Amino acid sequence: MKIGILGGGQLAQMLAQAGESLDMQFAFVAPEQDACAAPYGKHLMYPYLDPKAKEELENWADIVTYEFESIPVPLVEALEQVKPVHPSSQALTLASDRLNEKNMFNQQGIETAKFATVDSLQDLQIAVEKVGLPAILKTRRDGYDGKGQVVLRDQSQLEAAWESLSPVACILESMVNFKREVSIVASRNVDGDIAYYPLAENYHREGILRLSLSLQNDPKQKEAEEIIRKVMEKVGYVGTMAVELFDLGDKFAANELSPRVHNSGHWSMDGAIASQFKNHLLAIANQPLQDTSLQNATAMVNLIGAIPDKDLVAEIPNAVLYDYGKEPKPGRKVGHINISADGDNDEDFIPNVIKVLDMVGQQELIGELLKSSFYK
């Protein structure tokens, strides 16, 4: 089966790796010469809106999917006329705009931070009255890894914040005082079967995910599954999706959804029988979904800006390094390391995770790890 992917980054790369055992071939539409997925299939190097991109993909692929939410919706809509495209353009439209996303969550009875739309400095002043301070001003579209966001703590910061993001449409969100951040990843196939992954507990620094911990039998697993099920069923979603959640103690508030495989699901490559990538491919090909349950507790540490010494990582038992082959740049995700426990009573497991955090300069997260619901 031939799978066309819009986007050629690490998510496309890991989808293609997962597809090898499913007898799938891949083509990637990616304008970048150095797209890191390119060695895993056919690289259609065109700007997304170049008519050749659509034409060549449509001639080649049986099914089309995408790996990030800033893909132009018109391209997905046009492909949908001629090929099965999963997730749909409807899901993409929803997930590519923070305002649509939040309205949808609220319509489904799912809580979010308080929010207001901002299209001018005057709107921002009104929004602050509604939402309160501290708050976060975010661009509605194209934000990732904390980009396109400004934290507001007092009135004097409004003008500079608006200047730094304007003139694009924005949203102001109240700053949520969460107990922890988790995400739920699930895959839904064309028949409507859903497979849920165990919750991941997530730690960000400078707006970038640093550490994800797979949780076994978390008391809030079912509550999170209900949230993602509602969202998936509302849009007839097909593929893997992630919903980021703020745990407020007595309830969840939804942060955002990703209509794709997600960084907080990378632990599943080593911690679950079937990874989020494999289940995404099975879902879009309408095949039975495979086992998502946790095999061994797994921690995922992102490699931001640099790959550590591979020989040192190799000395850590049950640590697997994924190098995306990207040119290292500050703040850029260039790989990740999954560290798994060897059975339920592996006393070296937490020390191994600590070694990796230490190696990548994230010592500050060691304290978080020891306080987390993962470390019990």
Ligand X SMILES: Nc1ncnc2c1ncn2[C@@H]1O[C@H](COP(=O)(O)OP(=O)(O)O)[C@@H](O)[C@H]1O
For tokens 């007839």, the residue is 236
Among 11, 12, 128, 136, binds ligand X (CB under 6 A): 136
At its nearest, how many Å lie between ligand X and the CB of residue 246? 7
- By the 10 Å C-beta count (0-12 exposed, 13-18 middle, 19+ buried), 92 is classed as buried
Residue whose C-beta lies closest to ligand X: 176
What is the SS3 assignment for 172? strand
In whole angstroms, give the CA distance from residue 176 to residue 173.
Answer: 8
Q: What is the DSSP string of 341-356?
A: -SSTT-TTHHHHHHHH
What tokens were used for 345?
A: 């009573």
If the CB atoms of residues 63 and 171 are measured against ligand X, the closer one turns out to be: 171
| Residue 144 lies near ligand X (rule: CB under 6 A) | yes
Piece of the chain touching ligand X by CB under 6 A; list 10-18, 138-146, 210-218, 309-317: 138-146
Q: Token digits for 150?
A: 């400004």
- Measure the CA–CA gap between 47 and 350, rounded to whole angstroms: 45
Q: Pick from 173, 218, 270, 368: which binds ligand X (CB under 6 A)? A: 173
Nearest-Å Rg of the Cα atoms of the chain is 20
**Site stretch for ligand X (CB under 6 A), options 75-83, 157-165, 168-176, 184-192:** 168-176
265 forms part of the interface with ligand X (CB under 6 A): no
Could you tell me which residues are beta bridge partners of residue 183? 200, 244
Contact set for Mg ion, span 237-256 (CB under 5 A): 244
Q: Would you say 282 and 214 are in contact if contact means Cβ atoms under 8 Å apart? A: no
Per DSSP bridges, beta strands 194-196 and 200-205 are unpaired
User: With respect to Mg ion, which residue has the nearer C-beta, 24 or 242?
Assistant: 242
> Which one of the spans 50-58, 156-164, 169-177, 365-373 is the region binding ligand X (CB under 6 A)?
169-177
Q: Which of 67, 97, 218, 244 binds ligand X (CB under 6 A)?
A: 244
Q: Which of 32, 80, 145, 226 is in the footprint of ligand X by CB under 6 A?
A: 145
Residues forming contacts to ligand X in the complex (CB under 6 A) are 113, 136, 143-146, 173, 175-176, 181, 204, 207, 244, 255-256
